[in-house]
């Protein structure tokens, strides 16, 4: 993590806290994933997080519980069947 771009000690502390939370988080992936080419999800506080299992140190998408529930409901209802 590029701490040299942080502007304050408080900002650096906040980044370290975020990193340690992500590192200790239990990430889940589908039982159907038989390779490492899947997405992983985790609940971090009130946020649902998603990352690429091939790049665990890469970017993390964050969703509110409401956004995640709407997305998974759409999956179950076939809203994304054409994708």
Q: What radius of gyration, in Å, describes the C-alpha atoms of the chain? A: 16
- In a domain, residue 12? The reply is yes
Matching residue, tokens 């590192």:
23
- Residue 45: inside a domain, yes or no? yes
pTM for the complete prediction?
0.66
pLDDT of residue 77: 95
Looking at the domain assignment, is residue 62 inside a domain? yes
**Enclosing domain of residue 68:** 3-76
Instruction: Confirm whether 81 is domain-assigned.
Output: no
Domain count along the chain: 1
For 2-44, the pLDDT digits (tens) are 444 445 555 454 444 455 455 668 888 888 888 878 999 998 8
In a domain, 68, yes or no: yes
């Amino acid at each position: 993590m590029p701490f040299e771009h942080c502007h304050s000690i408080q900002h650096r502390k906040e980044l370290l806290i975020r990193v340690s939370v992500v590192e200790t988080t239990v990430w889940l992936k589908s039982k159907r994933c038989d390779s490492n080419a899947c997405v992983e999800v985790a609940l971090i506080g009130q946020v649902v997080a998603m990352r690429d299992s091939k790049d665990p140190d890469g970017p993390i998408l964050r969703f509110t519980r409401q956004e995640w529930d709407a997305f998974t409901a759409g999956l179950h209802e076939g809203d994304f069947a054409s994708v």
